[in-house]
């Protein structure tokens, strides 16, 4: 008579095996090592700097490596008023960043032009670059920026890790042309 032996869970074998998707791993790495490009254009940039200080400590989210070279950054944080004079520069720097890249519009000015309804001010940086997260406030507090960066992490986690270089959904609105710049 044969004897039946129940096969038990063997942690020595199964405990060292992790099954996942490539997308999940790549996005997990990406979202915990965002390298911001601090595009400080006006007063909001002071709050952006505060977010990097010890009190708010953006390094808790793996984002303390701020880079002023677009080649070494993957998230542009536009903090401040975007004048037409600077808009062309912002656009050029964005184009110099490698894919995948993201943009955060920090504050009322970067999001909509803010109180500057004037001939000299772009009415929202999303007219020239695609924005992933908008932060309200004039200025937003550092906590609001950190909240936006956490939202960006969530968004990165849901993306396909293999992004096409030319993604039509991420193009700015048609009126983006720097007319009058």
List of residues contacting ligand SF4 (CB under 6 A) = 42-44, 80-81, 107-109, 114, 138-139
Q: Which residues contact 68 (CB under 8 A, 6 or more apart)?
A: 37, 38
C-alpha separations of 64 from 34, 87, 95, 174 in Å: 8, 25, 22, 34
In whole angstroms, give the CA distance from residue 37 to residue 102.
Answer: 10
CB of residue 40 to ligand SF4, shortest distance in Å: 9
**Whose Cβ is closer to ligand SF4: residue 37's or residue 156's?**
37
Q: Is 62 exposed, middle or buried (0-12, 13-18, 19+ CB in 10 A)?
A: middle
Q: Residue 63 corresponds to which tokens in the numbers above? A: 């984002």
Quote helix, strand, coil % in the chain, to nearest 5.
40, 10, 50
In whole angstroms, give the CA distance from residue 85 to residue 121.
Answer: 9
CB of residue 82 to ligand SF4, shortest distance in Å: 9
CB of residue 90 to ligand SF4, shortest distance in Å: 14
CB of residue 11 to ligand SF4, shortest distance in Å: 54
**Order of all β-strands in the sheet with 75-79:** 36-40, 75-79, 102-106, 133-135
CB of residue 20 to ligand SF4, shortest distance in Å: 41
**Whose Cβ is closer to ligand SF4: residue 77's or residue 156's?**
77
**Whose Cβ is closer to ligand SF4: residue 41's or residue 58's?**
41
**Whose Cβ is closer to ligand SF4: residue 103's or residue 109's?**
109
**Whose Cβ is closer to ligand SF4: residue 73's or residue 121's?**
121
């Amino acid at each position: 008579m044969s004897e039946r032996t129940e096969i038990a869970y063997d942690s020595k074998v199964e405990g060292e095996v992790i099954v996942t998707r490539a997308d999940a791993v790549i996005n997990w790495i990406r979202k915990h090592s965002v390298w911001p490009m601090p595009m400080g254009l006006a007063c909001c940039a002071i709050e952006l700097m505060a977010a990097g200080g010890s009190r708010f400590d953006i390094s808790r989210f793996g984002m303390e490596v701020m880079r002023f070279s677009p080649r070494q950054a993957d998230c542009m944080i536009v903090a401040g008023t975007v004048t037409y004079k600077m808009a062309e520069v912002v656009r050029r720097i964005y184009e110099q960043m490698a894919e995948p890249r993201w943009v955060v519009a920090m504050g009322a000015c970067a999001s909509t032009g803010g109180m500057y309804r004037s001939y000299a001010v772009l009415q929202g940086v999303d007219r020239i670059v695609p924005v992933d997260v908008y932060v309200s406030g004039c200025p937003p507090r550092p906590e609001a920026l950190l909240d936006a960066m956490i939202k960006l992490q969530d968004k990165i986690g849901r993306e396909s890790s293999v992004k096409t270089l030319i993604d039509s959904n991420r193009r700015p609105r048609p009126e983006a042309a720097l007319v009058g710049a």
